[in-house]
């Protein structure tokens, strides 16, 4: 049996447009939807930008730069959110008439994260009048001070949590800064940038700027494909505002109204544009874009997103695809090493540290975040994976579980032991940090102690939260299509997951490490004339599967649609698998 499986609670009554389908009503209720208006995703449902603190000052800075054609430099982050944020800023400012415009993305291995004094020195060589950060900057106190000493103005747009001290920038737009009244706190960096561009366009319209410059007023919907990609790839919670942005972006992509870069990335991912979902952006496009920042230079990804020629976009997408394949190979080796380290300890789950730190001097700095996530998924506890940085420091990437805010946890350790951590930043579920090698043993012990103080043993037991059991008649292509189109699904608004018991008709390994099952439901009446269901479980433990003594299984699964040679059929994407005796 699957351990700790429980159904999602639902207790409100939604009527109106979803009342005609009991399953869909149940799913939405379990996600806290209490009104059908929360499922309306037209652009008119977006929150207004006026409540964002600092938005007027930020707009004023950009208007002044446009009027006098000052040099604006965008400084982004080296992940998909940073890349899409940079692309949105460049595309929008170009369409607004900016002629002196550039961007710079710090090399993560040389300069680290954010607007550091070192990256400001590099930026200063191009003599920008204004540095605008996207998806970073809220913790860049020293970098902003360096820029100001060089007479460079700084506009910060970010979504990460602020530290105890705010940088003395000319303007800051971040819904998570203290005192900000904007309700959508879960905007990704690209969402914050999009909102600033909305506000800037409104101000320029008020000034009759576009007519005076002979410019057509830009349609901001044209960058929603980028906003959707960055929002999904950054795994921010899909509260209503984010669902509006993602839904609108996906709609445009399906209609072919997207950038050549996103089209090319979908093509190399073997995805059908007209049928893409949020998960395709998160699991296919996002990783290929992220591969550039992990192994090489994120400028490659940004240039793909900004490409104005489809052939150029495709060539860049192919390069990103090759980098992603290389990343997978590196990740696989590092993951196996990490698992081997824990296996050598010969500890069961109850004796593992509550918070795990892992370090290997041979590990690739660009991939440690993924390794931390894989170990976290396997052992269900916060994990920090470390690699050696170029400056001799250790660079750590942290991933957390529900119930522990990882950035705040690092903050508590830093305040109690200020000598341990050189710098850190992040948010609830992911963070980054640097520390000196000789501080690693003490930090690892303090991390385990701090996590143990916050989480109980029950919190460290993995739990599968199910939307319940599906009736045999609900295991259909029609229901799979209904659920697929009922999203967008993502972090904080999860795709429906069901559980049930099934008879195993056939089982075999495909693709060397994936288990393909032929199944019949054990409850209800499944029509004898109907073909058995196909289930796929990825990356199974080959020591346990296939298990030909096993004739019955308990599964947690998502309904999916398989297309082969023009034939569409329902299949079960198995997330958890347990043999029944």
pLDDT in tens, 76-113: 988 999 999 999 999 999 999 999 999 998 876 677 67
Lowest mean pLDDT among 35-44, 137-146, 180-189, 527-536: 527-536
Backbone angles phi, psi at 93, to 5 degrees: -65, -35
Mean pLDDT of the chain: 91
Q: Taking residues 399-424, what's their average pLDDT?
A: 93
pLDDT at 532 over 90: yes
Lowest mean pLDDT among 58-67, 223-232, 329-338, 486-495: 329-338
In SS3 terms, 409-458 reads as: HHHHHHHHCCCCEEEEEECCCEEEEEECHHHHHHHHHHHHHHHHHHCCHH
Helices 286-295 and 260-268 cross at an angle (nearest 10°) of 90
Delineate the domains of the chain, giving CATH numbers in brackets. Answer: 46-320 (3.90.1640.30), 345-460 (3.10.310.30), 466-580 (2.40.50.460)
pLDDT at 378 over 90: no
In Å, the largest CA–CA distance within the chain is 78
Half-sphere exposure of residue 483: CA atoms within 13 angstroms, side-chain side: 25
**Three-state secondary-structure class, residue 132:** strand
Residues 6+ apart with CB under 8 A from 240: 38, 45, 184
pLDDT at 69 over 70: yes
Residue 577 tokens, joined? 């698998």
**Do 147 and 154 contact (CB within 8 A), yes or no?**
yes
Helices 117-124 and 141-149 cross at an angle (nearest 10°) of 30
pLDDT over 90 for what percent of the chain?
74
Residue 386 banded pLDDT, cuts 50, 70, 90 = very high
d(CA 157, CA 268): 32
Quote the pLDDT of residue 499. Answer: 95
Quote the pLDDT of residue 9. Answer: 54
d(CA 94, CA 82): 18
Quote the pLDDT of residue 126. Answer: 96
Residue 52 banded pLDDT, cuts 50, 70, 90 = very high
Cα-based angle 372, 376, 382 (whole degrees, multiple of 5):
90
Other CB atoms within 10 Å distance of the CB of residue 36: 14
d(CA 24, CA 187): 26
Backbone angles phi, psi at 349, to 5 degrees: -60, -35
Strand partners, 563: 568
Quote the pLDDT of residue 18. Answer: 54
- Identify which of 396, 336, 385 has the alpha carbon closest to the alpha carbon of residue 356: 385
pLDDT digits (tens, 9 = 90+) for 8-34: 554 444 444 455 578 999 999 999 998
Cα-based angle 217, 220, 225 (whole degrees, multiple of 5):
145
Residue 349 banded pLDDT, cuts 50, 70, 90 = low
H or E, element range at 507 = strand 498-510
Residue 197 banded pLDDT, cuts 50, 70, 90 = very high
Quote the pLDDT of residue 523. Answer: 86
Quote the pLDDT of residue 348. Answer: 53
pTM confidence score: 0.88
């Amino acid at each position: 049996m699957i351990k700790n499986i429980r159904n999602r609670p639902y207790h409100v009554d939604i009527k109106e447009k979803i009342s005609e389908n009991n399953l869909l009503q149940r799913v939405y209720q379990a996600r806290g939807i209490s009104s059908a208006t929360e499922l309306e995703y037209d652009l008119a449902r977006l929150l207004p930008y006026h409540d964002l603190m600092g938005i007027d000052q930020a707009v004023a800075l950009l208007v002044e730069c446009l009027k006098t054609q000052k040099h604006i430099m965008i400084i982004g982050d080296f992940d998909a959110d940073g890349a899409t944020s940079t692309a949105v800023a460049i595309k929008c400012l170009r369409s607004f008439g900016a002629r002196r415009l550039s961007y710079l993305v710090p090399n993560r291995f040389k300069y680290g994260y954010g607007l550091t004094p070192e990256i400001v020195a590099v930026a200063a060589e191009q003599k920008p009048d204004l540095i605008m950060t996207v998806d970073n900057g809220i913790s860049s106190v020293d970098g902003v001070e360096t820029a100001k000493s060089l007479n460079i103005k700084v506009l910060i747009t970010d979504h990460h949590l602020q530290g105890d001290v705010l940088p003395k920038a000319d303007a800051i737009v971040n819904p998570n800064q203290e005192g900000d009244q904007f309700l959508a706190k879960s905007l990704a960096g690209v969402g914050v940038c999009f909102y600033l561009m909305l506000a800037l366009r409104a101000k320029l319209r008020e000034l009759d700027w576009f007519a005076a410059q002979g410019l057509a007023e830009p349609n901001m919907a044209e960058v929603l494909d980028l906003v959707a990609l960055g929002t999904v790839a950054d795994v921010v919670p899909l509260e209503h505002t984010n669902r509006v942005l993602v839904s609108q972006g996906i709609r445009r992509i399906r209609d072919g109204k997207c950038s050549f870069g996103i089209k090319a990335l979908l093509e190399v991912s073997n995805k059908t544009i007209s049928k893409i979902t949020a998960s395709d952006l998160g699991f296919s496009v996002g990783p290929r874009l992220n591969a550039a920042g992990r192994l090489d230079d994120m400028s490659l990804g940004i240039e793909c997103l900004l490409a104005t020629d489809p052939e150029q976009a495709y060539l860049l997408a192919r390069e990103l695809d090759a980098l992603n394949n290389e990343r997978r190979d590196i990740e696989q080796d590092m993951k196996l090493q990490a698992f081997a380290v824990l296996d050598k300890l010969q500890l069961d789950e109850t004796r593992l540290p509550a918070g795990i730190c892992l370090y290997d001097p041979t590990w690739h700095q660009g991939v440690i975040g993924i390794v931390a996530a894989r170990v976290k998924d396997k052992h269900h506890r916060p994990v920090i994976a470390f690699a050696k940085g170029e400056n001799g420091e250790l660079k750590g990437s942290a991933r957390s579980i529900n119930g522990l805010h990882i950035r705040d946890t690092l903050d508590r350790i830093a305040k109690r032991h200020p000598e341990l951590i050189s710098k850190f930043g992040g948010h609830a579920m992911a963070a980054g940090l640097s520390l000196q090698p000789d501080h690693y043993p003490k930090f690892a012990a303090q991390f385990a102690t701090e996590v143990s103080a916050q989480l109980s043993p029950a919190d460290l037991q993995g739990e599968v939260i199910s939307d319940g059991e599906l009736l045999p008649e609900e295991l259909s292509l029609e229901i799979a299509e209904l659920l697929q189109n009922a999203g967008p699904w993502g972090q904080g608004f999860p795709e429906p997951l069901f559980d049930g018991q099934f008879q195993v008709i056939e089982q075999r390994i495909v693709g060397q490490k994936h288990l393909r099952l032929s199944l019949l439901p054990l409850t209800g009446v499944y029509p004898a004339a109907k073909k058995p269901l196909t289930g796929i479980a990825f990356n199974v433990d080959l020591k346990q599967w296939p298990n030909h003594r096993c004739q019955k299984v308990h599964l947690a699964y998502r309904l999916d649609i398989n297309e082969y040679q023009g034939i569409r059929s329902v299949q079960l994407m198995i997330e958890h698998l347990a043999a029944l005796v």
